[in-house]
Structure 1
Amino acid sequence: MRKVILSDVTLRECASSANHSLSFKEKIEIAKQMDKLHCDIIEMPQIKNTSTDVLLIKTIASLMKHSEICADVGYDAAGVETAYNCVKGAKKSSLKVSLPMSAVQMEFKCGKKPPVVMGMVSQLVAECKKYSENVEFCAEDAVRGESAFLYQAIDEAIKAGATRVTVCDSEGTMFPSEFAKFIADIIENVPSVKDVTLGVEVVNSMNMATASAFAAIEAGASQVKITADNFNFPTVENIMKIFSLRGDSIKVSSKIRTTEIQRVTGQIKRMLNTSKSENTPFETGVNEDSETLTLDRNDTIATVIKAVKKIGYDLSPEDNANVYEAFKRVAVKKDFVGTKELEAIIASSALQVPSIYSIDSYVINSGNIITATANIKLIKDGAEISGVSVGDGPIDAAFLAIEQIIGHHYELDDFQIKAVTEGREAMGHALVKLRSSTGKLYSGTGISTDIIGASIRAYVSALNKIAYEEG
């Protein structure tokens, strides 16, 4: 029974889709869900915004237990080192060189002529091999390229050290029988391809991508690119359904956990398809609860720092020491300290900075028959600055008004409210976690008998930390 490798491109395709806007946490959650399926490979988006994309890939790489993380290296040697540094912390990782094989795509994507692209194949694959044993060469738009050029490119990639070769029907215009012959011709004309894993990527333009993928498998391919939702590629559900019904007859199988498919893909589809309000840029997708941490008074500073990093914070040695001291004071009074308590400790004891922004006043209007509005007035350098905004509820309107004042949107990574006292005059505690443009996480807290006031104070607290560190 031949094992077929399934390579998930959901995150890669999300990055280039205008219809799917995911938060940092949602991207991590999608990767974790595919890892739970035991998906063989998870492809990362191409690194464009260096700081944020690098942090995302590094975070995902550190969390994977079963899946291999594959990073695209781009078109130059510098990109190879950057991609490797992102995935080197993963249990299993690989680097991918993607280059167009058709003349029109060579000009459009990388502005190069065929002889130059051929040289790039060898150079980039060889550079990747210096860093990783697992290197994939992806021949984009392969079916529209010249056959002789494609065969030579595949052979050059294998000679340079590629362990996987993927050929793409990027237009999705081949019938399954034509695609099977296309794969058979590659195997016949490039003898060295028998020594590596041959994969396929098929676009679903004619609703035949799944059929073409299985035609390619029967012709000798051993890897297929799939998605968790319909991104114009074969879905993992459809592929595994055919494996279940006819896998024995063609003697192929996959290590995907079929009992988890419906739950995992349902979770991912909800994240991808949950509509975002037109009134707010803040993400409203579906997330599973993060893994619960449990610490007690006997835990060392190393254990606490590890827990701090696990929930997304990258603190300085001084802040780590401050957090640990605050943790010890809390742990003495409690049997254990959980994730939410640790986040509150971080927000109140790490990165204590001068107040660049302070709250002067706020007026909130809200009700069940009107759109919530917020009028916020802050003070910066002795000057009053104000903003007015509408939103999906009073807190959303308040946060948007603050963004209007500062002229910048920060991703709201998390927002929590809880009561800290009882009764009609109960105090509310708010925690706000903002992710800056560099990808770093900052948290702030606020306490008030007014939960809207507590939320505004928490947001401004986190904002002051960003403004102090990043200017």
Structure 2
Amino acid sequence: MTESANTPAAVSDKDRVIIFDTTLRDGEQCPGASMTMEEKLEVADLLDEMGVDVIEAGFPIASVGDFESVVEIARHAKRATIAGLARAIPADIARAGEAVRHAQRGRIHTFVSTSPIHLEFQMRKTQEEVLDIIKATVTQARNLVEDVEWSAMDATRTPIDYLARCVEMAITCGATTINLPDTVGYAMPEEYGAMFRAIIEKVPNADKAIFSVHCHNDLGVAVANSLAGIAAGARQIECTINGIGERAGNAALEEVVMALGVRRDILPYQTEINSRMLTRASKLVSAVTSFPVQYNKAIVGRNAFSHESGIHQDGMLKHAQTYEIMTPESVGVTKTSLVMGKHSGRAAFRDKLKSLGYELGENALNDAFTRFKSLADRKKVVYDEDIEALVDSGIATASEHIRLVSLSIIAGTRGPQRATMEIEVEGETRAQEAEGNGPVDAIFNAIQALVPHSAKLELYQVHAVTGGTDAQAEVSVRLEEDGKAVTARAADPDTLVASALAYISALNKLQVKRQSVNAQSVAS
């Protein structure tokens, strides 16, 4: 059984797989997953500490905020290479070069479409024109940095002979990494692996570059395709925490790392990732994006190491390996019999958080402990899931322009339903009473009156964190304003309080987005 996916001391280059994390770029492009500068830095620091080799920090030309995020991450990174994405456009490449020059190791990642459908309908270029673009832009990038990655967008729908010409041109002009992405999640593992074998055989200077996989999950085979590419000669995997990303997402970092770690018998390749930090990274990304991790998600899902079937439980009691192919500890989950309640102290709470994969600073710990004690006074049994929901909602709402002070509700069959609310906006206390078609509508109407806005409610969702009538309710709210969507979550034993907190958290996130847009307007 594999205890960890850490790399042993001696690993040859031919067996070493580079982990390229694009959570902060491709992952953030997932609708509703935008992060603040502070959240991006927190995620980047954890990725760096975890052993990620390359962190794609953003798309510098996209906005002032994206550029500044890449700059700050580049300045903070201790060991990882920091990459900035750039289209095959001179201005993009110059901007990316400016952003990553602050890194100890900087990379420009530039890309251009190569498939017939993209060339005809999106690029409106001929094959020869695209080859000229590759020559000019890869040369420009190599003049700015030594580490250049070139990607053939929609490689899996590109004729092999033309793809080989493009790859040869990119390497000749200085590309040190060649990425052949399955941009639309179309390929199957056998054909994805065959593409890499064909390109490596056809391209005369293929030995001068590292080949990379970047797979989307539209058909649910992103991880399988990534592993097939590695078996065929690629030595870099581009992936994201929790598999977030465009459409159905990207290959999940935690899944490819543990697949390589557990199945070394048929995948004799290794990474530098400290797999014991995977659960912690998953929880952080879930909290800052407000994207919940599905319960049955491989490696980091809540049920990944849970057993309910009597047959499974019997086997586990006799020997863990009967139904577990890896230990919970190997991915950062520690089982413990510590029971948490209102008499638990700070040390026990800190230990419980650590066992659940959280490492909080002193201020965040104090805030979480205060909310835990309040919850324990109201709830007979505090489950691990309660603590996770409590901490995650605290992380997700760390930037508070608007804060709930008090809430009281009149509800029932006689109506009308009424909410009386007091909030604090930038230190100013405001109060409002509002009616609605039900208590939740009354709460949201009160918030609308207190903080006027044009955002539309796209999603309101409630689920119980645990069983029992005293279970915490976890509420998800998604708001859309001017084409920008944000999602926020909050948990509380009172469903109506959780609803108010989630809505206010979403408004806080929109405020951050507005400030970013205003900053861009001023800069331009």
The TM-score with structure 2 as length reference comes to: 0.56
Secondary structure of the residue that 1:58 maps to in structure 2? helix
Determine if the alignment matches structure 1 residue 79 to structure 2 residue 92: yes
Match in the other structure for 2:77? 64
**CA 126–239 in structure 1, closer or farther in 2 if over 3 Å, else same:** same
**CA 117–89 in structure 1, closer or farther in 2 if over 3 Å, else same:** same
Which of residues 376, 400, 408 in structure 1 aligns to 2:451?
400
Determine if the alignment matches structure 1 residue 189 to structure 2 residue 202: yes
Shift in Å at residue 14 of structure 1? 3.5
Cα distance in 1, alignment partners of residues 171 and 100 from structure 2: 22
Shift in Å at residue 132 of structure 1? 0.1
CA contact (8 A) 1:41 1:67 kept: yes
Cα distance in 2, alignment partners of residues 262 and 89 from structure 1: 30
Secondary structure of the residue that 1:267 maps to in structure 2? helix
- CA deviation digits over 1:235-291, x for unaligned, max 9? 11111211221225433100011111111122212322358xxxxxxxxxxx98679
- CA deviation digits over 1:9-43, x for unaligned, max 9? 21222342224243332233222222221111111
Aligned residues: 334
Structure 1 letter corresponding to 2:284 = Q
Match in the other structure for 1:112? 125
Shift in Å at residue 131 of structure 1? 0.7
Cα distance in 1, alignment partners of residues 423 and 184 from structure 2: 51
CA contact (8 A) 1:106 1:112 kept: yes
CA contact (8 A) 1:176 1:212 kept: yes
- CA deviation digits over 1:350-385, x for unaligned, max 9? xxxxxxxxxxxxxx9953444466899xxxxxxxxx
Structure 1 letter corresponding to 2:195 = F
Mapping for residues 337-376 of structure 1, pairs under 5 Å: 367-369=408-410, 370-371=418-419
Match in the other structure for 1:235? 252
Secondary structure of the residue that 2:138 maps to in structure 1? helix
Determine if the alignment matches structure 1 residue 103 to structure 2 residue 144: no
Match in the other structure for 1:259? 276
Gaps of 5+ in 1: 276-286, 293-363, 377-386, 413-431, 443-465
Moved more, 157-166 or 146-155: 146-155
Shift in Å at residue 127 of structure 1? 0.1
Mapping for residues 153-232 of structure 1, pairs under 5 Å: 153-231=166-244, 232=249
Structure 2 letter corresponding to 1:233 = N
Cα distance in 1, alignment partners of residues 102 and 433 from structure 2: 45
Determine if the alignment matches structure 1 residue 131 to structure 2 residue 144: yes
Shift in Å at residue 201 of structure 1? 1.2
CA contact (8 A) 2:113 2:152 kept: yes
Secondary structure of the residue that 2:241 maps to in structure 1? coil
Cα distance in 1, alignment partners of residues 215 and 59 from structure 2: 19
Match in the other structure for 1:452? none
**CA 89–177 in structure 1, closer or farther in 2 if over 3 Å, else same:** same
Gaps of 5+ in 2: 1-11, 293-357, 364-404, 411-417, 425-431, 435-440, 456-480, 487-507
**CA 36–123 in structure 1, closer or farther in 2 if over 3 Å, else same:** same
CA contact (8 A) 1:4 1:253 kept: yes
The TM-score with structure 1 as length reference comes to: 0.61
**CA 225–365 in structure 1, closer or farther in 2 if over 3 Å, else same:** closer
**CA 411–117 in structure 1, closer or farther in 2 if over 3 Å, else same:** closer
Match in the other structure for 1:273? 290
Cα distance in 1, alignment partners of residues 51 and 442 from structure 2: 40
**CA 206–371 in structure 1, closer or farther in 2 if over 3 Å, else same:** same
Cα distance in 2, alignment partners of residues 28 and 17 from structure 1: 18
Cα distance in 2, alignment partners of residues 178 and 402 from structure 1: 50
CA contact (8 A) 1:366 1:393 kept: no
Identity %: 22
- CA deviation digits over 1:196-222, x for unaligned, max 9? 101111222232222222222111110
**CA 104–393 in structure 1, closer or farther in 2 if over 3 Å, else same:** closer
Structure 2 letter corresponding to 1:243 = L
Cα distance in 1, alignment partners of residues 62 and 515 from structure 2: 9
CA contact (8 A) 2:60 2:99 kept: no
Determine if the alignment matches structure 1 residue 53 to structure 2 residue 66: yes
Structure 2 letter corresponding to 1:208 = V
**CA 388–28 in structure 1, closer or farther in 2 if over 3 Å, else same:** farther
CA contact (8 A) 1:373 1:398 kept: no
Mapping for residues 135-150 of structure 1, pairs under 5 Å: 135-150=148-163
- CA deviation digits over 1:395-434, x for unaligned, max 9? 9768734999xx99x999xxxxxxxxxxxxxxxxxxx998
Cα distance in 2, alignment partners of residues 438 and 75 from structure 1: 30
**CA 291–152 in structure 1, closer or farther in 2 if over 3 Å, else same:** farther
**CA 184–50 in structure 1, closer or farther in 2 if over 3 Å, else same:** same
